[in-house]
Structure 1
């Protein structure tokens, strides 16, 4: 069967990140409003509180990892002692490359690896919408190892550095997503894959997108009645079954058109349309322009 999560991460095309080691002592509060990249944080020691705008605060302890695929402003602050109202701390880069918050002397109460990465895919907004809006993984040593490798490779000046970093990022993202607490995930692909009934239907779609899937056929994959499957799929994935299938087919079509290696008739066949004209009509309705024009405008992206 297909591995939808790996497929989506590969299509996202994660790019080389910016990462930094941050040490803090005493009460602190750091606010970032100028966020335009995906954010992740690994707490190496101590405790801290992460508050993403519009979401409940997350208390982080040593070994915890948090990933925010959707770009949002956030606040990171101490838990013990808690910062006073109105406190805004200013991170200061040190000569050793470590960013310091609070008094520079004495041991750090909190140490964290903070990083940003970006998704190069033109379809990043759609693909990210299939993922949870935030992922929290607690106490998984593999993530700490991967985060450290990303940090070290990003700082190094070695041959093929960017290629290595991007591959490490793919592994880091997959590991974080599959290690997350499934029951706490927001509606989307991850929660759907974790569901015993919806997971098989999603894997069937990704394994054979060219199939003429219908709700009854997908319900059969899930072992549910048509109405029960439709309701459960929509609630867990956040989209109706046929809507998800259409979006995924069009994502694959755009990816193939941008590559310039596939004829329209071939793409039509590979994503389940009976003819090139039927595919062209559906693509134009969904994307807003015919596939040939889209291929010409996005060649090489």
Structure 2
């Protein structure tokens, strides 16, 4: 069977945009207001605080890893809070290419590996909504190593740099998500996969998207009654089973059309529609334009 998590991360098409080492000393604070780029960070040394939106602050310490896949308002600061009316700390570029926050010429209290990336998928919003808003792990050396590899590759000018970065980011995201505790996650794919019975049904949808699945058939795969499966799936994943299946089929269709993997009729068949006309109606309702026009628009964008 296919791995739904790997499929979704690959479909997100992550690519690195910024990677840097930040040294922080004294009292400092940086804020990000609904920035669209996902953020990941490893605490190399020391400790600091992270606050996302109006949530209580989280204390971060050495070897902690944080991944925030979606657009969020967040604040990172020293453990000793800055004066409330003080401005955010502006970063200073050091001669070695690293960044500094707080007083200059002072030994840093905290060192961070920070990276931003972008998602190339036109369905990034939908796919990110299936993932947790925050991943926080402690003492995972594999994640630290992966982030260091991303930073090193980002700084290099070696051949195939972009390809390597894409693969490293995919591995980084998958490793981060699978080390998360499903019980503490917000509704989404990971909570669904963390439920052994729901995981069977989710894998069936990804493994056989062309099958004319019904809620009753998926419930049978999960060894649950129809009503119990529907309620349990909706609570865990955050959307109804057929809504999830439809969204996944449309995400697959958009990828195939962008990458020119077949005609509209062939794409329709590969995502579970009996006719090109039925697929076109469903696609237009979901995306806003017919698949043929969508494919043409993608070609024009490339040129």
Q: Give the equivalent residue in structure 2 for 1:15.
A: 15
How far off is 1:90 after superposition?
Answer: 2.0
Q: Residue in 1 aligned with 2:166?
A: 166
CA–CA separation in structure 1 for the residues paired with 2:192 and 2:271: 21
Compute the displacement of 1:29 (Å). 1.3
Task: Give secondary structure in 1 for the equivalent of 2:75.
Answer: strand
Question: Which whole-Å CA distance do the structure 1 matches of 2:82 and 2:143 have between them?
Answer: 29
8 Å CA contact 2:32, 2:72 repeated in 1: no
Provide the C-alpha distance between the structure 1 equivalents of 2:85 and 2:185, rounded to a whole number of angstroms: 32
Partner of 2:218: 218
Q: Which residue of 1 aligns with 2:250?
A: 250
The number of equivalent residue pairs is: 300
Per the alignment, do residues 262 and 178 of structure 1 end up closer, same or farther by CA in structure 2, a change over 3 Å counting? Answer: same
SS of the aligned residue for 1:217 comes to helix
Q: Which deviates further from its counterpart, 21-30 or 48-57?
A: 48-57
Deviates more, 1:97-106 or 1:190-199: 97-106
User: Is 1:100 matched with 2:100?
Assistant: yes
Q: Who is 1:184 aligned against?
A: 184
1:206 counterpart = 2:203: no
Instruction: With the length of structure 1 as denominator, give the TM-score of the two structures.
Output: 0.95
3-state secondary structure, aligned to 2:186: coil
Structure 2 residue 147 is the aligned partner of structure 1 residue 155: no
Q: Gaps spanning 5+ residues in structure 2: where?
A: none
Q: Which moved more, 1:236-245 or 1:86-95?
A: 86-95
1:86 matched residue in structure 2: 85
Aligned to 1:141: 141
Matched with 1:41 is: 41
Q: Distance in 2 between matches of 1:57 and 1:161?
A: 36
Shift of 1:70: 0.6
> Which deviations, in whole Å up to 9, do the C-alpha atoms of 1:13-48 show, x marking residues without a partner?
111231111111222211223723111111111111
Name the CA distance, whole Å, in 1 between partners of 2:53 and 2:107: 31
Q: Distance in 2 between matches of 1:2 and 1:160?
A: 27
Greater mean deviation of Cα atoms: 228-237 or 44-53: 44-53
Q: Do 2:130 and 2:189's aligned partners in 1 also have CA atoms closer than 8 Å?
A: yes
Q: State the partner residue of 1:277.
A: 277
> Does the aligned pair in 2 maintain the 1:191–1:237 contact within 8 Å?
yes
Per the alignment, residue 259 of structure 1 pairs with 259
Contact 1:137/1:181, CA 8 A, preserved across alignment: no
1: CA distance, partners of 2:116 / 2:14: 10
Distance 1:244 1:46, change over 3 A: same
Given that 2:13 and 2:120 are in contact with CA atoms closer than 8 Å, whether structure 1 keeps it comes out as: yes
Structure 1 gaps, min length 5 = none
- Which residue is equivalent to 2:6? 6
The superposition leaves residues 224-251 of structure 1 with CA deviations (integer Å, 9 ceiling, x where unpaired) of: 1111110010001000001111111111
The answer to whether the Cα contact below 8 Å between 2:261 and 2:267 also exists between their aligned partners in 1 is no
Q: Distance between the aligned counterparts of 1:23 and 1:158, measured in 2?
A: 27
Match for residue 268 of structure 1?
A: 268
Q: How does 1:39-78 map to 2 (within 5 A)?
A: 39-78=39-78
Q: C-alpha separation between the residues in 2 aligned to 1:135 and 1:51?
A: 13
SS class of match (2:89): coil
